[in-house]
Chains A and B, each alone.
Chain A
Amino acid sequence: MTTLDQSTARSTTSGRKAKGQRHSIERAQGRMGTAFVSLYTLFLLAFGVLPALYAIYLAFTKKGAFVGIDNFLKVFKDYRFWPAVEHVGIFLVVWLIMLVILVVLLSLLVHSIGIRWLSTGTRFLFYIPGALAGASSVMLWLFVLDPTVSPVGFLLRAFGSTSLVDAVQVDRLPFVLAVIAFWTGAGGWIVVMYGALNNIPKDVIEAARVDGARPIRIAWSIQIPLMRKWIAYMVIMSFAGGTQLFVEPRVLSQASRGVVGQDYSLNQLAFLYAFKQSDFNGSAAISLMLLAVALGLSVYFVFKGGLFERV
């Protein structure tokens, strides 16, 4: 009875009181939000910002004394640096182009499938490889890439590879790594893009259809422009991850008996600096360069993709 009384009382309260209640809900939500964000911020500080500051300190010092850009100059002169830049650069170009084109295409296709179970099933299939950790998916690819045991050995032989060593020759490696990365990461992005496509109001598509637009025209003029932010987001995240190429060439290096060098990527070089040459300062310099490049390009894509624009 009391409950009923109270609720009746509440429903008949004045507008002023209702407004106050809304405020208190917003405050509660705000508090919750702060709680969630603060935990993240704490981790960001501990594992992101502080190590980055430490890296900046290391990059400009040697044995605790300020040395300006000496560490950077030393890295630039290293015979392994520019080849590593080239390796990572080619990989990124191949991979990002492949990612943008194929992910957009595949998500549009999956989205256009009318049969519910088929659409769900396809998304699930795409997503499975993404559930594997980087190193374990490379292990799987070791078998795929070795013509003597590969289920697609005929394909490898058609490209002229008769052994694993041959399949991972340095000039083929950017493509091999891009395929591995695409296979691992694309599924997750297809699911994200699918969500983005669902967000496009149905009436917009209806209107276009009434005006006589065919599916390709709808995709090109409506869906893709409305997915712009998501594509930019994908490029930023993938670019940042791609510049940090490490596990894939490292595992391939051990499996290919060293044919894939231990100094293939920039991150591997930073690793060698720190742990082979005990030069943490040089290592920090490489990391800082990676950070600067990734940050610069991210800013470009954020503004180009309108990521921070309010709708």
Chain B
Amino acid sequence: MNLLRTTVALSAIFAAGAAFAQDATGITVWADANRQPAVEAFIAAHPEVPVNLVVDDGSSGASGTFQTKISLADQAGEGWPDVVFSTQNNDAAWATKETNGVQAFAQVLNEGFLGEEFLKGFTPGALDPVTVDGKVYGLRNDLAPVLFWYNKTLLDGFGYAAPTTWEEYQALGDKLAADHKGYFLGGIGDAFEGPYIYYWSGQAPIFQLEGDAFKSNTTDANSVKVSNLIDHMVANKSLTLDSVFGASFVATAANLVAIPGPAWYAGALFQNPGGVNAKAGDWVAAPPLHWKDGEKVTGNVGGGVWYASSHSANPEAIKTFLQFIVSDPKVAGTGGLPAYQAAADAWLDGQVASGFYAGDFKAAINTAASSVWNGWGYPNFSPETAWAKIITPGLVAGKTMKDLSADWQQEMKNEAQVVGYTVE
């Protein structure tokens, strides 16, 4: 009976979407609530293109909304939207492939659809996750390289230097645990922090793709180093098991000394009254942490993507929309670091001018943006589901990464197999 309710609700949404999609002049856009102001700015700037905005969850937390709804439309043979926003950057893995005889959903955006000049305006490497065999299937909304954020006022007060390597980060945790109980260095309570911030930045080969082969190795030297770091810092409580967006994290946010995290923490965490709600001048965005003897690389947490539909009856309107949404200096990046270079420069200048962050904000972001480790794969599933299923409850129950790594690796491999990858 519950399924029936869901089906009825879904069908109602589809009926509404489908009715609009047949309108020859307008476009239907699926995006999450964070993107809504940008879409509204487009509507104000381009009244000649009617937009039907359908707000969804942007597939956050690997919920799969985008793929689910497209599968339904594929099965029904109608009801596709014209433009879709997704917070995940692995959708190209399925959206570029024909499914059950229905053409691939994602429109190829280079090779004549959008001008080469326009596409060259993206930060180098920004379109890599959505490029398959030289074809560009989506436009990045924002870049999300992992930086190292620290509270200068607190560190200076304690008389500690800001860490630049993972080893120093761990040592700082020991000092805090010994001398300043209750102060901490981040959290791994969400499913994204572990894989993207710690393992990806730590150059751990746990989520790799070679052709159709999925690889994960939690016993690699770097993987073990990251696991040990997490276990050590969870044990001395310098890493919390709370979600960084949860009530208990926010309640203790005044004791947060430093945290590695993506560029979008700027707006979503620090300058958010419901988050850390930082005071101007306290926080510094520093270049990413790296292993003392390792390469200077970092991880990446999302950075949404805009896709166009290959089924659309209105490609011209789509072109206008996409170019505006990723490159307009006022809305591009939707609060994060825009993937479009010119818009990114404008955004960075604005951040520097506001003086909110101490230190060289622009240099730190640029260093991070150009050093994302390219050894991470974008298969048709997310490392977040396996993390949430095995690691989150495991750590809460008092187990360690050392205990859980093998199960976690197996779960990722199982997931890979189910969606059709070969696994060693």
Contacts and interface: CB of A to CB of B under 8 A. Distances in A.
Given A166-B396, A258-B61, A258-B62, A276 B68 contact: yes
Contacts of A119: none
A305 interface: no
A165 B418 contact: no
Interface stretch (A186-194, A221-229, A259-267): A259-267
A159 interface: no
B389 A275 contact: no
B91 interface: no
Given A78-B418, A277-B419, A257 B190 contact: yes
Contact of B100 (A163, A267, A280): A280
B386 to A, nearest CB: 9
A278 interface: yes
B44 interface: no
Given A241-B1, A247-B5, A254-B63, A79 B414 contact: yes
B384 interface: yes
Contact of B247 (A148, A271, A275): A148
Nearest to A262: B385
Contacts of A245: 2
Contact of B191 (A79, A257, A271): A257
Nearest to B99: A278
Given A254-B61, A257-B61, A246 B393 contact: no
Interface residues on B, range: 35 or more
Interface string A119-148: 000000000000001110000000000001
Interface in A137-179: 148-149, 163, 165-166, 169-170
Contact of B64 (A170, A275, A280): A275
Contacts of A27: none
A282 to B, nearest CB: 10
Nearest to B420: A277
Given A80-B418, A258-B191, A275 B72 contact: yes
Interface residues on A, range: 35 or more
A63 to B, nearest CB: 8
Contacts of A244: 1-3
Nearest to A273: B418
A196 interface: no
A165 B396 contact: yes
B165 interface: no
A274 interface: yes
A258 B6 CA distance: 20
B99 to A, nearest CB: 5
Contacts of A135: 5
Contact of A280 (B5, B75, B190, B191): B75
Contact of B392 (A78, A79, A259): A259
Interface string B63-89: 110011001101100000000000000
Given A78-B418, A79-B414, A148 B248 contact: yes
Interface in B404-418: 414, 418
Contacts of A277: 418-420
A301 B68 CA distance: 37
Given A275-B64, A278-B99, A258 B388 contact: yes
B65 to A, nearest CB: 9
B393 A259 contact: yes
Given A149-B247, A278-B100, A259 B1 contact: no
Contacts of B191: 257-258
Contacts of B243: 257
A134 B3 CA distance: 10
A2 B62 CA distance: 79
Interface in A31-64: 47, 63
A275 B71 contact: yes
A259 B389 contact: yes
Nearest to B414: A79
B47 to A, nearest CB: 36
Contacts of A246: 2-3, 6
B397 interface: yes
B84 to A, nearest CB: 15
A47 B62 CA distance: 31
Contacts of A267: 3
B68 to A, nearest CB: 4
Given A134-B2, A257-B189, A277-B420, 13 more contacts: A63-B100, A163-B241, A166-B393, A169-B396, A244-B1, A244-B2, A246-B6, A257-B61, A257-B243, A258-B61, A267-B3, A276-B64, A277-B418
21 contacts: A78-B418, A79-B414, A79-B418, A133-B5, A134-B5, A149-B247, A163-B242, A165-B392, A166-B393, A244-B2, A244-B3, A246-B3, A247-B2, A257-B189, A257-B191, A257-B243, A259-B393, A261-B388, A261-B389, A267-B3, A280-B100
6 A-B pairs with the lowest CB-CB distances in the bound complex, closest first = A258-B388, A275-B68, A247-B2, A275-B71, A278-B99, A134-B2
